[in-house]
Amino acid sequence: MNYMNKSGIYIHIPFCRRKCSYCDFYLVTNLSVIGKFTSNLRNEIALSSRFYQDVEFDSVFFGGGTPSLLSVDDLAAILKTIKDEYRISDSAEISIESNPEDFTEDNSKLPALRDIGFNRISLGVQSLIDDELKFLTREHDSDMAVRVTQRALKYFENLSADVIYSLPEQKLQSSGRTVDKLIELGVPHISAYTLIFESNTVLNKLRRKNITLPNNESLEAGFYYFITEKLLSAGYNHYEVSNYSLQGFESRHNMKYWDYADYIGFGPSAHSLFRGKRWNNVRNIILYNNLLKENRLTYENITMLTAAEKQNEFILCGLRAQGIHLLNFSKLFGKNFSEIFVNQTDRYIRNGFAEYTSGRFRLTEKGYLLADEITLAFLN
Amino acid sequence: MINSKIRNFCIIAHIDHGKSTLADRLLERTGTVESRSMTKQVLDDMDLEQERGITIKLHAIQMNYASKSGEKYILNLIDTPGHVDFTYEVSRSLAACEGALLIVDATQGIEAQTISNLYLAIDNGLEIIPIINKIDLQSAMTEEVKDQIVDLLGCKREDILTASAKEGIGTDEILEAIISRIKAPEIKNEKPLRALIFDSIFDTYRGVIVYLRVFDGTLKEGDKIEFFAAGKHFEAEEVGILKMERQRTHMLESGNVGYLIANIKDVNDSKVGDTIVDTVNRASEPIPGFKEVKPMVFSGIYPIASNDFENLRESLSKLKLNDASLTYEPESSVALGFGFRCGFLGLLHLEIVQERLEREYDLAIITTVPNVEYKVYKTNGDLILVDNPATMPDTTVIDRVEEPFISSQIITPVEFIGNIMKLANDRRGVFKNQHYIDTKRVDLNFEFPLAEIIFDFYDKLKSTTRGYASFDYDMKDYRKADLVKLDILLNGEPVDALSSIIHRDNAFYWGKKLCEKLRKLIPRQMFEVAIQAAIGHKVIARESISAMRKNVIAKCYGGDISRKRKLLEKQKEGKKRMKQVGSVEIPQEAFLAVLSIDK
């Protein structure tokens, strides 16, 4: 469904030293298979390339897991395979997720990552309050996070920090201190998430035992407005429910998801959307390795989306981010968004939840917080 | 002349005391039905009846029995419904019989629910055969229950039979008692025809099938007949007796029970309690006791999806074919769109119709608060009947309003008199009289506004008397009352489907409770919802539902999108079961919120 944007490539690196209590991503902590994985991943990337010869990619995103756990050589080899096999724009955004502990002072990894081609880095800061970091079972402390952020900014102008807030028993001011510090450090992109109690996490087990409970809706909303207000007044754009950036620092890769552009994923559990079809790779590294050893791709859940499903997804993604692109909507679905949804749009605009702006139907700050509820009104 | 070979009888029992099981045993023992071909309980053939344990529609069946003395008998068992909503129908079934089996559970003793039907039976001059059932159970208190029965009936101890319908114990003794104790019907074949209609069903191919008992004369195929109260004329097309299936006999003689098919298209022409007479040799008087069954309780039934309106009409018309007491006519509501105002015998009847529409016809419907029919006298002298609060005229043009009153009989063990007095007082009851049946039991007579008993009175009565009190009522008259229309406003807009007509004294309490209830039932919306109760322009109670603050999941990346879409699509389906009134989404339950308010 490549109607306007170039496409994106996602690489899932499923390794962490250990799993954080809130995390539900697919990862393993057995680092001894990294070598085998890297060669299989490169094989997968190469095997798949024949399907995408006519496609240009302007974003490559290494996510995880912890991609920064891999050696510079491994990362460079993977990047080289991608560049050899795919048409990657010269100006492509090449992004890597990382944890602060992978960049201690004596480590030359930060400049090395830049040198092998990465031009954006995302740091898993999460908080700059030590007690909160302990609660989140993170390995770094706030000092280390601040030092690494400062150093990383020397090599990567385009840097993003992840923040998790609305923690149980967290004070509003405390969430504010983390954000204030990141603003002060000059971090141009911040992904700030309210804590989610995902099923199959340690955190959710604690909830079931009534040990740790999520904040109520009202309190979460309070945190959200507080954080958002701080970032807005510091000049950040709020361009997706949980994402804020200075002008020009929006995550190009993540925008692919929300603008409903095509993306293909490699590595176990990676998801793809390409020309109206969705699939994912197996969520099991052993199976992944075994299949690729025999040069077999590991697709699962291949789904051809119906027109109605596509439209629903287009809307649900658009409303979370910069809005429904009206021209793209009519190109894709042959319908006029503002006509078919006139009742809904009138109502939400009248009540201050949404607006028409720059060719898009977009939610306001007030609307973002109710994006799921509002989306319901637009679904088939 | 006496036809000594026929016995007509029914069974009176409290729910779960074993009526249907005993009926099954009688059918098996007389070879009317093979035991292995029996579904559990033959007489109740609607799913709903089996689930509720209430026989809603009447049925009858004929058995052939060879007695111990070798004589051959014809036994007609007429089934009866067991709830106050259907008292009249019960009374007509009883009127078709000469005797009744009174079944009492050996582990429970006499329960009050039985008593009202028992008195109906005694009033109709029926011979009562008391039977204690479930004597095989460990917890059976057979001797104590015998004492109770002797107290109640004044019968001899040795007249009481004991049985276990489940185990088949006592079945023969019961059959023998039926032929020896119950009077044979009087045979008056020479007299002009008079047959009592005690039920009817609708058959798609044959039209209405009338179940009847011939009292005088004979009913033959080809007879020109008239339905007395309905004033309709027909020709008897097919006449027969009721076995497991209909069995054509071409004629029915005086004393017998059977069916009639006469090309009757409208179930309303065959009214329960009406008398069939011969047009030529016409009996001058009908069988006494006929009453026009009128709906007492009214409620709006609306489809949730407006394009289901025609389906709803179709479904109601199908239900109506077998249920003459159901009435419906189209109406419209500002809040709910197009629907039907339906009339029911009582609340149970309403619930049954509602459930059948949902279950058998797969309709998503909203039922509005039930109410009675008011007589409204306007200042210009006009009288209008109001069965829907939304159509109540403006107070300025009302001279007075009258509401229906009932006369009720509550039979209760004496220790509950205080509780009942309090309940009656809460429901604007007027105490009229009391009468001690024996040292333990008293018969209380109250008059109530019908509106006060249609919601949950019966349930409340049962809980306040631990299930012992029985309740029965008759329409009495219309009386002037200080009634007001209570409106509910959501964000300032009146929701007509939530209006109710209530006594002024209760209005404040009622309005407050209703607002509280709605606050709990209406989910949070994207904006604050103000709930107000008002009489005319005066707001008497207020609640608010605070706006939904947050409903968005923080993360939505490549792998989350499809899962998220499916989740939202499912939620959207759930929303379709809510009704949007103005900008507020209201779940079905909210329209019945009034019902769950404690007075």
Across chain B, which has 599 residues, the per-10-residue mean pLDDT values are 80 80 86 63 50 48 90 90 70 92 88 74 91 93 90 88 90 94 92 93 88 95 95 96 90 94 89 93 90 85 89 90 85 88 87 88 88 94 92 89 91 92 94 84 91 83 82 86 93 90 89 92 92 93 93 90 93 83 84 68
According to DSSP H, which parts of B323-470 are helical? 347-359, 417-426, 450-453, 457-464
| Same domain, yes or no: A254 and A311 | no
**What angle in degrees, to the nearest 10, is found between the helix axes of B171-181 and B19-29?**
90
Give the Cα separation of B504 and B501 in Å (integer).
Answer: 9
Q: Which helix (H) or strand (E) holds A148?
A: helix A142-155
What type of residue sits at position B585?
E
pTM of this prediction?
0.67
Q: Do A369 and B552 touch (CB under 8 A)?
A: yes
| Same domain, yes or no: A338 and A202 | no
| Same domain, yes or no: A102 and A165 | yes
| Same domain, yes or no: A93 and A157 | yes
The answer to whether residue A201 is domain-embedded is yes
- Cβ of residue B583 closer than 8 Å to a chain A Cβ: yes
- Cβ of residue B572 closer than 8 Å to a chain A Cβ: yes
Query: Using CB atoms and an 8 Å cut-off, which of residues 293-352 of chain A contact chain B?
Result: 303, 309, 312-313, 316-317, 320, 347, 351
- Cβ of residue B569 closer than 8 Å to a chain A Cβ: yes
| Same domain, yes or no: A162 and A40 | yes
| Same domain, yes or no: A210 and A325 | no
Domain ends where: A236, A258, A280?
A258
Closest chain B residue by Cα to residue A372: B552
Q: Do B559 and A224 touch (CB under 8 A)?
A: no
Q: How do residues B362-391 score in pLDDT, each as one tens digit?
A: 898 988 888 899 999 999 999 999 988 988
| Same domain, yes or no: A18 and A103 | yes
Residues of chain A found within 8 Å of residue B550, distances taken between Cβ atoms: 217-218, 220-221, 224, 369-370
Stated length of chain B? 599
Give the Cα separation of B320 and B262 in Å (integer).
Answer: 19
The answer to whether residue A280 is domain-embedded is no
The answer to whether residue A43 is domain-embedded is yes
Mutation site, B528, B545, B550, B573, interface A, largest A CB count within 10 A:
B550
| Same domain, yes or no: A247 and A169 | yes
Look up residue A41 and give its two tokens. Answer: 């991943």
| Same domain, yes or no: A249 and A332 | no
Residues of chain B found within 8 Å of residue A95, distances taken between Cβ atoms: none
Give the Cα separation of A232 and A246 in Å (integer).
Answer: 10
The answer to whether residue A153 is domain-embedded is yes
Closest chain B residue by Cα to residue A272: B558
Would the ipTM clear 0.95, i.e. be above it? Answer: no
- B417-428: b (≥16 Cβ within 10 Å) or e: bebbeebbeebb
| Same domain, yes or no: A71 and A138 | yes
Say which of B561, B562, B568 has its CB closest to residue A372. B568
Residues of chain B found within 8 Å of residue A175, distances taken between Cβ atoms: none
Q: What is the pLDDT of residue B83?
A: 60
| Same domain, yes or no: A247 and A166 | yes
- Structural domain that includes position A311: 307-376
CATH number at residue A103: 3.80.30.20
The answer to whether residue A345 is domain-embedded is yes
The answer to whether residue A271 is domain-embedded is no
According to DSSP H, which parts of B236-393 are helical? 309-321, 347-359
- Cβ of residue B385 closer than 8 Å to a chain A Cβ: no
The answer to whether residue A332 is domain-embedded is yes
How many domains is chain A built from?
2
Residue found by looking up tokens 């050589």 in the block: A73
| Same domain, yes or no: A233 and A356 | no
Q: What is the pLDDT of residue B58?
A: 39
Cβ burial of B580 (10 Å; 0-12, 13-18, 19+) is exposed
Q: Do A375 and B568 touch (CB under 8 A)?
A: yes
CATH number at residue A361: 1.10.10.920
Across chain A, which has 380 residues, the per-10-residue mean pLDDT values are 74 95 93 96 97 96 95 97 97 97 84 97 97 96 96 97 96 96 98 94 94 93 96 97 97 95 96 96 96 95 95 96 96 95 94 95 95 94
The answer to whether residue A185 is domain-embedded is yes
